[in-house]
Amino acid sequence: MSTDTTRGDNSPVRSAGRSITGLLEGYWLKIWTAIFIVFLYIPIVFIVVFSFEKGEFSTLPWSGFTLHWYRVLLDTSVAIDAIYNSLLVAVVVTTLATVMGTLGAIALVRHDFRLKRVYRSLVIAPMTIPGLILGIALLMLFNFFSIDLSLYTIMLGQLVFIVPFVLITVTARLRGFDRALEEAARDLGATRWSTYRHVTLPILAPGIISGALFAFTLSFDDFLIAFFTGGPNNTLPVYIYSNVIRTTTPVVNAISAVALFVSMILIILSQYLQR
């Protein structure tokens, strides 16, 4: 009986099962990561590939390569206006959010005051509020005060949830800041302004620039706030949505590819500066 049991344990089927189990135990994280990355990026790859599709329908098999849809995009004034609106809003929001977020981070890290924790919680709270709820709330607020919806209301709405992201990014940089460097500069005769300009700002610059790029990406890609607070003014995400619900021509793919390219470049720059 013992001989038969031993042979059964050493059978090819059991050996193969143990090999597969050992393979999964040793590489399950890599396998899961590969599956996740493929699932995440396949839709993005399809958008970019079909933006060069020669035919009018985004279907397989691919009928040929063309830049026609990008030329159509450049000839579409409404699309160009949407891109311009998105860039304008993103630049203004990025500038204001960077200044406000940096000052808020300095206040949190460098100063002690009453209700400091409450201040921090209130500033960061918009990050946790769903965009849909925030967009509806802002729309009701603007309607209550009879404020006409425009690009300015989009900017105000985006500042509510973008400033906290900048604040957290700069705060992380400030917490690792060695204040002995500032003290050394002051001991050597530097004024307060010279210390800020030659010591503090250069050290904080990577965090500030990274937060600014992050803010630009969030603003440029924002849909919910712009949808509820933009009124007749379309930003690029809203324009893409309004076209997708009606048709799926490769022009939409071309617009999405352009927006994707801009966002990816900014994200890569942000990650590089954070390191």
Is residue 233 domain-shared with residue 261, that is, in the same domain?
yes
Q: What is the pLDDT of residue 88?
A: 93
How many residues does the structure list for the chain?
275
Structural domain range at position 46:
2-50
Rounded Cα–Cα distance for residues 98 and 111 (Å): 19
Residues 37 and 115 in one domain: no
What burial letters (b/e) apply to 71-94, b meaning 16+ CB within 10 Å? eebeebeebeebbebbbebbebbb
Shared domain check, 29 and 103? no
Average pLDDT over residues 211-239: 88
For residue 57, being part of any structural domain is answered with: no
Q: Count structural domains, the chain.
A: 2
Q: Would you say residue 210 lies in a domain? A: yes
pLDDT confidence tier of residue 181, bands split at 50, 70 and 90: confident
Within a domain: 118: yes
pLDDT at position 169? 85
Compare 237 and 195 and report the one with higher pLDDT. Answer: 237
Average pLDDT on 54-62 reads: 67
Residues 31 and 115 in one domain: no
Listed range (50-54, 55-59, 96-100) with the worst mean pLDDT: 55-59
Query: Do both 242 and 196 map to the same domain?
Result: yes
Write down the pTM of the prediction. Answer: 0.75
Residues 182 and 249 in one domain: yes
Does residue 138 register a pLDDT over 60?
Answer: yes
Q: Is residue 62 part of a domain?
A: no
Q: What is the mean pLDDT of residues 199-218?
A: 83
Whether 186 maps to a domain, the answer reads yes
pLDDT at 140 over 60: yes
∠ at Cα 196 (194, 198), nearest 5°? 60
More confident residue, 216 or 46: 216
Q: Which two tokens stand for residue 139?
A: 């729309």
In this structure, are 155 and 184 located in the same domain?
Answer: yes
Evaluate whether residue 35 is within a structural domain: yes
Q: Is the pLDDT of residue 156 over 90?
A: yes
Mean model confidence pLDDT for the chain: 80
Residue 58 — pLDDT band, cuts 50, 70, 90?
A: low
Give the residue, 168 or 271, on which the prediction is more confident.
168
Q: What is the pLDDT of residues 60-109, one digit of tens each?
A: 666 777 787 788 877 778 888 888 999 999 999 999 999 999 888 888 87
- In a domain, residue 190? The reply is yes
> What average pLDDT does the segment 189-198 reach?
78
Q: In this structure, are 110 and 193 located in the same domain? A: yes
Q: Which residues of 120-147 are buried (b: 16+ CB within 10 A; e: fewer)?
A: beebbebeeeeeeebbeebbeebeeeee
Q: Looking at residues 185-194, what average pLDDT do you find?
A: 77
Note whether 112 and 184 are same-domain residues: yes
Residue 130 lies in a domain: yes
- What's the rounded Cα separation, in Å, for the pair 159 and 54? 40
Indicate whether 87 and 196 sit together in one domain: yes
Q: Are residues 93 and 179 in the same domain?
A: yes
Cβ within 8 Å of residue 91, ≥6 positions away? 216
Q: Are residues 200 and 234 in the same domain?
A: yes
What is the structure's pLDDT at 20?
62
CATH of the domain at 160: 1.10.3720.10
